[in-house]
Homo-oligomer: A and B are copies of this chain.
Amino acid sequence: MTRVALALVHHPVLDRDGAVVTTAITNLDLHDMARSARTYGVGELFVVHPIEAQRLLASRIQEHWVEGSGKRRIPDRAVAMEVLCVVPALDDVYSALGGRDAIEVWTTAAAARAPGVTTYAEARARLEKSERPVLILFGTGWGLSGPLVASADVCIEPIRARGDTGYNHLSVRAACAITLDRLLG
């Protein structure tokens, strides 16, 4: 089975006007995405944030649940929060996985701006036979910056319902859960 890792990216991401910004850590992103990762057998969720105080916040949340009183209250949560790995930049994620050239970087929610969009069915088939670890990037805010999307090896299609509902604004927590289910469910 191909090794899969996730990265929750807080920079470089877009705001609603399309400007590149850094977003704040959201507590429930860490909980929900760690629980979803663990449910689907993903061993690493990298939390990428360039600001030290924000990384410290994420690390303290993790410690509370993995070693602190949170673990005594809800032991299952410790098993999930262990998958978190807090780092300053995507380069640190690449290094941890063996280097940018040793892995495949995938993005999700690719809009028409991406030249070659991969369907979920194609991505699932590719995942089954990939010999390199696959890193799936999830952008906070209004999504990953354009250059970051363009640098990915695979851009997966946006998540849509069977019928056309005219609405596609899932939370990153929901998008991550659905993506893992479609690829590994």
Residue ranges of A at the interface with B (Cβ–Cβ < 8 Å)? 1, 16, 28, 31-32, 35-36, 38-41, 74, 76-77, 79-80, 159-163, 165, 167-171, 173-178, 180-182, 184-185
Contact B80 A167 (CB under 8 A): yes
Listed by A's residue number, 13 A-B pairs whose Cβ atoms lie within 8 Å are A28-B173, A32-B173, A35-B170, A35-B174, A36-B170, A38-B167, A76-B167, A79-B167, A80-B167, A160-B185, A161-B180, A161-B184, A177-B177
Contact B169 A76 (CB under 8 A): yes
State the copy count for this chain.
2
From A31, A39, A74, A176, residue with most partner B Cβ within 10 Å: A39
Whose C-beta in chain B lies nearest to the C-beta of A43?
A: B165
Known A-B contacts A41-B165, A169-B80; the reply to A185 vs B178 at CB < 8 A is yes
Known A-B contacts A169-B80, A178-B181; the reply to A161 vs B32 at CB < 8 A is no
Contact A16 B170 (CB under 8 A): no
Known A-B contacts A174-B177, A181-B181; the reply to A35 vs B162 at CB < 8 A is no
